[in-house]
């Protein structure tokens, strides 16, 4: 069994009217099964309302499935006694950088998780230093988070999760509120964690260019997993992606159009370099 | 414009007073304030002023910052002095029209003025030399015995520090909403009081909604990072008394002994 495994996961949002009668049921996650191995870089893709955030919240036991089961490192999220171990194993980074920083000083915020876990003071300091170094924010440790840029704040949030020594980090659209340079910063930090520290990364996003480096991509639509495969496999199906209202990276689209016009090119070109090489320019 | 408001009035510098444990400063300030009400003669206030002077010197905070704190209470000070001056019954000194200044009134007014000034400067020394965060930490630790009476000490301290963290964010947001409303023709500046109060509604409603949304997000983020109240929590920066803190307490005690001895002669 992998680090995260879901079996027939269903989650329903129940809408009620003022008297508490059920008005309608929204199935946000609809019979999703997946198995994620330790050390992988996973991207979950989907447009707004596809259920990707709801799925992510299950991995941290913030939401409990209506039906089906989700295991984090072998622990069932439905069982109350597992909840804190699960949150320690699978850390979570959210979308809005301002709404997840608790401390008034960077280092205090990073220390918040370990403090909650009851780690001895000396070890908290070691963990804070090591996590801040891992995301390249060590020189900002004495700063107030209010004075930092969005990208820097998100890196602090990542460090905050890292200090809890998780096996897996779930990032729920961490770059949605950032400018392009902030996005690059965050993605670079996340890739570093995966490459250097071997932490399983589950990146939820709707930016196509962020998933190029993933080991495996899941595309969600209407609560179901619509596509699954390596980035190359996913990107070779340009028409299907467009059907799911997802944008393909420009290079991939260009290659696809060229191919349609009869130029001989391999499927699923992801970077400009690849296209240049394939065209033999 | 709203961003210019500074919160708390911490003055960043390196000094012995800054490094003191917040508990020493809190306790010391409290004792100092109480002591001001025990003196029977002016000599006591001289001792108190002297003590405060030494502390200010040690804190390396420019004196003008202390005076700045005085500005806000100048009205209160005037009213206190005037009322005490004219409304205390006793032997008349000067009498102009219907107003009479009595000897007792003069004495009371001076004492009150001295007390208030020393009290305000004394407490601003504390706020100027302690970060708000440190202050909440100190309060949490000092109030810990109240837990026996089921007072949620940790929760209150956590709320205070979160509030402090979010004040600048909400101020910025207010500024943004205000500009957005102004751009669409809202008028916050003209009209009488009622009209202006009414104009604030389109500012406050979105602000509240956004604050609740933030609170919801933050609660989720805190839970995701294993926050489950004060039980079993360790501290990254625990408060531990050092030698200078005991010296600080000693200094306060010496002041109290001398002050009460001299002041109650």
3-state secondary structure at position B32 = helix
Give the neighbor-by-neighbor strand order of the sheet with A75-76.
A22-36, A4-16, A67-72, A75-76
DSSP letter assigned to residue B34: H
Question: Taking residues A163-189, what's their average pLDDT?
Answer: 91
Question: Taking residues A247-258, what's their average pLDDT?
Answer: 84
CA-CA-CA-CA torsion sign (B190, B193, B195, B200): positive
Residues whose CB falls within 8 Å of the CB of residue B175, separated by 6 or more in sequence, listed in order? B1, B2, B3
User: Does residue B4 have a pLDDT over 50?
Assistant: no
Nearest-CA distance from B169 to chain A in Å?
A: 7
Identify whether residues B114 and B24 lie together within a single domain.
yes
> Which of B220, B226, B235 is opposite residue A121, by nearest beta carbon?
B235
CA-CA-CA-CA torsion sign (B175, B177, B183, B184): negative
Domain around B98: 9-130+240-263
Cα Rg of chain A (Å, integer): 20
Identify whether residues B29 and B77 lie together within a single domain.
yes
Question: Taking residues A140-160, what's their average pLDDT?
Answer: 90
User: Does residue B12 have a pLDDT over 80?
Assistant: no
- Give the nearest chain B residue to A114 (CA atoms): B234
Q: How confident is the model at residue B44 (pLDDT cuts 50, 70, 90)?
A: confident
Cβ-based interface (< 8 Å): residues of A facing B? 60, 62, 84, 87-88, 91-92, 94, 96, 98-105, 107-108, 111-121, 124-125, 128, 145-146, 160-161, 164
Q: Is residue B3 part of a domain?
A: no
User: Does residue A163 have a pLDDT over 90?
Assistant: yes
CA distances from A252 to A80, A212, A241, A275 (A): 46, 11, 12, 8
Using a CB-CB distance cutoff of 8 angstroms, which residues of chain A are in contact with residue B228? 84, 116
Identify whether residues B101 and B40 lie together within a single domain.
yes
Q: How confident is the model at residue B8 (pLDDT cuts 50, 70, 90)?
A: low
Q: How confident is the model at residue B3 (pLDDT cuts 50, 70, 90)?
A: very low
Q: Is residue B26 part of a domain?
A: yes
Nearest-CA distance from B235 to chain A in Å?
A: 6
Cβ proximity of A31 and A10 under 8 Å: yes
Q: What percentage of chain B reaches a pLDDT higher than 70?
A: 96
- Give the nearest chain B residue to A161 (CA atoms): B225
Q: Is residue B167 part of a domain?
A: yes
State the pairing for strand pair A168-172/A90-93: parallel
Question: Taking residues A136-147, what's their average pLDDT?
Answer: 87
What is residue A169's predicted lDDT score, i.e. its pLDDT?
A: 93
Identify whether residues B123 and B34 lie together within a single domain.
yes
Identify whether residues B29 and B80 lie together within a single domain.
yes
DSSP letters spanning B226-265: T---STT---SS-----HHHHHHHHHHHHHHHHHHHHHT-
Identify whether residues B101 and B56 lie together within a single domain.
yes
Identify whether residues B96 and B172 lie together within a single domain.
no
- Higher pLDDT: B67 or B43? It is B43
3-state secondary structure at position B20 = coil
User: Does residue B5 have a pLDDT over 70?
Assistant: no
User: Does residue B2 have a pLDDT over 70?
Assistant: no
The average confidence (pLDDT) of chain A is 88
CATH superfamily of A38-65+83-230: P-loop containing nucleotide triphosphate hydrolases (3.40.50.300)
What is residue A164's predicted lDDT score, i.e. its pLDDT?
A: 92
What is residue B231's predicted lDDT score, i.e. its pLDDT?
A: 80
Nearest-CA distance from B177 to chain A in Å?
A: 17
Cβ proximity of A170 and A72 under 8 Å: no
> Which of A116, A146, A164 is opposite residue B228, by nearest beta carbon?
A116
Question: Judging by beta carbons within 10 Å of its beta carbon (0-12, 13-18, 19+), is residue A23 exposed, middle or buried?
Answer: exposed
**Token code pair at residue A281:** 């320019």
Identify whether residues B23 and B86 lie together within a single domain.
yes
Structural domain count, chain B: 2
> Which of B223, B225, B233 is opposite residue A164, by nearest beta carbon?
B225
Question: Judging by beta carbons within 10 Å of its beta carbon (0-12, 13-18, 19+), is residue B149 exposed, middle or buried?
Answer: exposed
- pLDDT tens sequence across B73-98: 888 888 988 888 888 887 777 777 77
CA B72 to the chain's CA centroid: 12
Q: CA-CA distance, A156 to A174, in Å (whole number)?
A: 12
Number of A:B CB contacts under 8 A?
88
Q: Is residue B208 part of a domain?
A: yes
Identify whether residues B123 and B207 lie together within a single domain.
no
Using a CB-CB distance cutoff of 8 angstroms, which residues of chain A are in contact with residue B223? 62, 87
- Which residue, B64, B69, B55, is CA-closest to B6? B69
> Which of B214, B222, B232 is opposite residue A118, by nearest beta carbon?
B232
CB atoms within 10 A of CB B57: 12
Question: Taking residues B208-215, what's their average pLDDT?
Answer: 92
Q: Which of B221, B237, B239 to mutate to test the interface with A (most CBs of A within 10 A)?
A: B221
Q: How confident is the model at residue B102 (pLDDT cuts 50, 70, 90)?
A: confident
- Which residue, A222, A207, A164, A212, is CA-closest to A191? A212
Query: Is residue A218 within a helix (H) or strand (E), and if so which, with residue range?
Result: strand A216-221
Identify whether residues B100 and B197 lie together within a single domain.
no
What is residue B7's predicted lDDT score, i.e. its pLDDT?
A: 46
Per-residue buried b or exposed e for A191-210, using 16+ beta carbons within 10 Å of the residue's own CB: bebbeeeebbbbbbbbbbbb
Cβ of B233 and A146 within 8 Å? no
* CA atoms within 13 Å, Cβ hemisphere of B177: 19
Nearest-CA distance from A124 to chain B in Å?
A: 6
Identify whether residues B164 and B194 lie together within a single domain.
yes
- Higher pLDDT: B3 or B191? It is B191
Cβ of A128 and B236 within 8 Å? yes
Q: How confident is the model at residue B9 (pLDDT cuts 50, 70, 90)?
A: low
What is residue A111's predicted lDDT score, i.e. its pLDDT?
A: 92
- pLDDT tens sequence across B151-178: 888 888 888 888 888 888 888 899 999 9
Q: CA-CA distance, B85 to B16, in Å (whole number)?
A: 40
Cβ of B165 and A87 within 8 Å? no
Least trusted range by pLDDT, from A54-63, A217-226, B134-143, B214-223: B134-143
Q: Is residue B2 part of a domain?
A: no
Cβ proximity of B161 and B136 under 8 Å: yes
Q: Which of B5, B166, B225, B233 to mutate to test the interface with A (most CBs of A within 10 A)?
A: B225
Cβ of A146 and B237 within 8 Å? no
**Token code pair at residue B89:** 């019954």
What is residue B6's predicted lDDT score, i.e. its pLDDT?
A: 44
Cβ of B164 and A118 within 8 Å? no
What is residue A127's predicted lDDT score, i.e. its pLDDT?
A: 94
Question: Taking residues A214-220, what's their average pLDDT?
Answer: 91
User: Does residue A42 have a pLDDT over 90?
Assistant: yes
Q: Is residue B232 part of a domain?
A: no
Cβ of B165 and A96 within 8 Å? no
Using a CB-CB distance cutoff of 8 angstroms, which residues of chain B are in contact with residue A60? 224
Q: How confident is the model at residue A264 (pLDDT cuts 50, 70, 90)?
A: confident
Q: CA-CA distance, B12 to B185, in Å (whole number)?
A: 41
Cβ proximity of A2 and A51 under 8 Å: no
Using a CB-CB distance cutoff of 8 angstroms, which residues of chain B are in contact with residue A129? none
Query: Is residue A91 within a helix (H) or strand (E), and if so which, with residue range?
Result: strand A90-93
Nearest-CA distance from B131 to chain A in Å?
A: 10
Query: Residue ranges of the domains in chain A?
Result: 38-65+83-230
- Which residue, A11, A26, A131, A118, is CA-closest to B227? A118
Identify whether residues B80 and B176 lie together within a single domain.
no
What is residue B207's predicted lDDT score, i.e. its pLDDT?
A: 92
Nearest-CA distance from A56 to chain B in Å?
A: 12
What crossing angle do the helices spanning B74-87 and B63-71 adopt, rounded to 10°? 70
User: Does residue B241 have a pLDDT over 80?
Assistant: yes
Cβ proximity of B141 and B156 under 8 Å: no
Using a CB-CB distance cutoff of 8 angstroms, which residues of chain B are in contact with residue A105? 133
């Amino acid at each position: 069994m992998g680090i995260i495994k879901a079996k027939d996961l269903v989650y329903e949002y129940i809408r009620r009217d003022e008297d508490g009668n059920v008005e309608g049921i929204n199935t946000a996650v609809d019979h999703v099964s997946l198995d994620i191995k330790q050390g992988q870089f996973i991207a979950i893709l989907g447009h707004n309302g596809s259920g990707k955030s709801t799925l992510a919240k299950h991995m941290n036991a913030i939401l409990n499935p209506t039906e089906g089961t989700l295991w984090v490192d072998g622990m069932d999220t439905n069982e109350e006694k597992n909840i804190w171990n699960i949150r320690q194993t699978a850390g979570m980074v959210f979308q809005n950088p301002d709404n997840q920083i608790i401390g008034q000083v960077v280092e205090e915020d990073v220390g918040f998780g370990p403090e909650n876990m009851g780690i001895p003071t000396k070890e908290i300091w070691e963990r804070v230093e090591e996590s801040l170094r891992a995301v390249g924010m060590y020189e900002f440790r004495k700063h107030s988070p209010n004075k930092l840029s969005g990208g820097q704040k998100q890196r602090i949030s990542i460090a905050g999760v890292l200090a809890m020594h998780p096996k897996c980090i779930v990032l729920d659209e961490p770059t949605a509120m950032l400018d392009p340079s902030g996005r690059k910063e965050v993605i670079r930090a996340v890739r570093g964690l995966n490459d250097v520290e071997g932490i399983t990364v589950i990146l939820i996003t709707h930016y196509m260019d962020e998933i190029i480096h993933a080991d495996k991509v899941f595309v969600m639509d209407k609560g179901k997993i619509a596509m699954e495969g390596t980035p190359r496999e996913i990107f070779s199906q340009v028409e299907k992606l467009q059907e799911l209202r997802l944008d393909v990276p420009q290079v991939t689209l260009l290659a696809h159009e060229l191919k349609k016009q009869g130029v001989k090119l391999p499927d699923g070109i992801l970077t400009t370099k690849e296209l240049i090489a394939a065209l033999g320019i | 414009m709203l961003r210019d408001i500074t919160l708390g009035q911490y003055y960043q510098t390196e000094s012995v007073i800054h490094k003191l444990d917040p508990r020493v400063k809190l306790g010391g300030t409290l004792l100092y304030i109480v002591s001001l009400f025990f003196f029977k003669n002016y000599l006591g206030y001289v001792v108190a002023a002297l003590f405060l002077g030494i502390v200010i010197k040690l804190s390396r905070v420019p004196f003008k910052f202390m005076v700045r704190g005085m500005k806000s209470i100048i009205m209160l000070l005037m009213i206190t002095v005037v009322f005490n001056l004219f409304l205390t019954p006793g032997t008349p000194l000067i009498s102009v029209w219907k107003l009479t200044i009595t000897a007792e009134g003069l004495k009371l007014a001076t004492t009150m003025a001295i007390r208030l000034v020393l009290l305000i400067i004394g407490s601003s020394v504390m706020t100027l030399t302690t970060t708000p965060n440190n202050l909440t930490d100190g309060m949490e630790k000092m109030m810990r015995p109240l837990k026996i009476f089921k007072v949620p000490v940790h929760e209150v301290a956590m709320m205070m520090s979160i509030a402090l963290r979010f004040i600048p964010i909400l101020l910025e947001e207010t500024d943004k909403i205000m500009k957005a409303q102004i751009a669409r023709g809202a008028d916050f500046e003209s009209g009488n009081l009622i009209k202006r109060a009414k104009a604030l509604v389109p500012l406050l409603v979105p602000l509240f909604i956004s604050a609740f949304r933030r609170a919801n997000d933050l609660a989720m983020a805190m839970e995701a990072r294993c926050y489950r109240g004060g039980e079993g929590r360790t501290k990254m920066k625990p408060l531990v008394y050092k030698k200078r803190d005991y010296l600080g307490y000693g200094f306060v005690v010496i002041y109290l002994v001398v002050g009460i001895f001299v002041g109650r002669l």
